[in-house]
Amino acid sequence: MLTQSVESYLAVRRACGFQLKSESNYLRTFAIYSKKRGKHHVCSDVAIEWAGLSKSAQQRARRLGQVIQFARYLRAEDQCHELPPPFFGSQRRPRPIPYIFSQENIKRLIQAASQSGYRTLPRQTYSTLFALLACTGLRVPEAIRLRFGDITSDGLVIRGSKFRKSRLVPLHETAQAGLERYLKQRRSYAPFDDHVFVSLTRKPFHTRDVETAFRTAVDKIGLQRGPGLPRPTPHSLRHTFAVRALEACPDDRDKITKHMLALSTYLGHSTVRETYWYLEATPDLMRDISKCFENFTKGVQP
């Protein structure tokens, strides 16, 4: 019974745009575990026992949290399902401190990628990819799924991204020109594959390929890292893009609203709330905020 309920629950949530890769494995495993315990409904004791099999506290909280969401769904029609308490605490991880690149470090990163390895095209591939991530704020999966037909005179067509949304991402003329220069050499490298970015094996990239190349470039330029310091990742380029866009935001309240809505649409967020998550205080932002507050206390109109 629980096995069928799990599949029904997953189907409903996937229809809403959620991928649920890890969640599906958790819940299917929980259903099998409950069946072995002779339970055909969600039982709090069994759920806590099953979640407690994980080694880390964070993993235990996450597993139980998935069951709690599942139980809420089932209880709408059948009150026989118990709603487990959050025995292991919140399943949400504390928000990691993002790494914000300076313009100079972005240039150094791209330069390092263009000099890594011993073959010309992979160097150009990674340097072009990192430059594209930096100037568009694309997610890594969005960038590595790009195909030739997605590059238009109006920008990049991002198809079926997060929550199955598609959008058009305009490109600055310099970014368009840089992409075209790369494609002139790329097209003959793997003519039977229309992915924009391909690996040494002439196959589409995996996220881990990008992460490995990124770490190599970061190590080469010697970015400061260590305990307590934010860790630079490929996603940091997207975060940096969002923060720099906020720094360029005008002061007028109505203009700020329009600016945030435009940025949210550009980044492919389902709600503006997701865009605010990206925005992190930087020295420039704090200086502007301090100046605005000082003017406010003096009665100066913006």
Helix (H, G, I), strand (E, B), or coil: what is residue 50? Answer: helix
| Cα(7)–Cα(63) distance, integer angstroms | 17
| Cα(202)–Cα(193) distance, integer angstroms | 8
- Whether 220 is a known active-site residue: answer no
Which residues, 6 or more positions from 283, have their beta carbon under 8 angstroms from its beta carbon?
none
Q: Which of the following is catalytic: 60, 63, 81, 139?
A: 139
- Whether 206 is a known active-site residue: answer no
Q: Cα dist. 166→52, 163, 237, 270, 278 in Å?
A: 39, 9, 21, 11, 20
- Whether 139 is a known active-site residue: answer yes
Q: Which of the following is catalytic: 62, 145, 186, 269?
A: 269
Q: Which of the following is catalytic: 162, 165, 167, 259?
A: 162
Two structure tokens written together for 80 = 């026989």
Q: Which of the following is catalytic: 9, 26, 99, 278?
A: 278
Q: Which of the following is catalytic: 60, 108, 238, 239?
A: 238
State the pairing for strand pair 167-169/151-152. unpaired
Q: Which of the following is catalytic: 39, 235, 259, 276?
A: 235
- Give yes or no for a contact between 238 and 138, defined as CB atoms under 8 angstroms apart: yes
At 186, the amino acid letter reads R
- Whether 238 is a known active-site residue: answer yes
- Whether 269 is a known active-site residue: answer yes
Tally of CB atoms within 10 A around 58: 16
User: Distance from first CA to last CA of the chain, Å, rounded?
Assistant: 63
- Whether 215 is a known active-site residue: answer no
Active site residues: 139, 162, 235, 238, 269, 278
